[in-house]
Amino acid sequence: MRRVVITGVGAVTPIGIGKEEYWKALEEGKNGVGLISLFDTSQHSVKIGAEI
């Protein structure tokens, strides 16, 4: 079996990509949840999401 080494982690979120951007948005009280705009939701009951 081969060994695996994790050398870092990152964040990809609706309010920021990367640790610094994400943390700054959290401190500013930003919210990444809202009406879905990346695709047509007319055929879906859910209209709210956290788009990335």
Q: Hey, what are 47's tokens?
A: 């209209």
Q: How confident is the model at residue 52 (pLDDT cuts 50, 70, 90)?
A: very high
Predicted local confidence at residue 24, as pLDDT: 98
Q: Structurally, how many domains does the chain consist of?
A: 1
Q: Are 30 and 15 in contact (CB under 8 A)?
A: yes
For residue 43, what are the domain limits?
12-49
- 27 in a structural domain: yes
- 7 in a structural domain: no
- 2 in a structural domain: no
Q: What is the dihedral of CA 21, 24, 28, 30, to 10 degrees?
A: 30
Predicted local confidence at residue 31, as pLDDT: 96
- 5 in a structural domain: no
Task: Write the pLDDT tens digit of every residue in 3-35.
Answer: 999 998 899 999 999 999 999 999 999 999 999
Query: Which residue from 21, 25, 24 is spatially nearest to 11, judged by alpha carbons?
Result: 21
Query: Which residue from 25, 22, 24 is spatially nearest to 11, judged by alpha carbons?
Result: 22
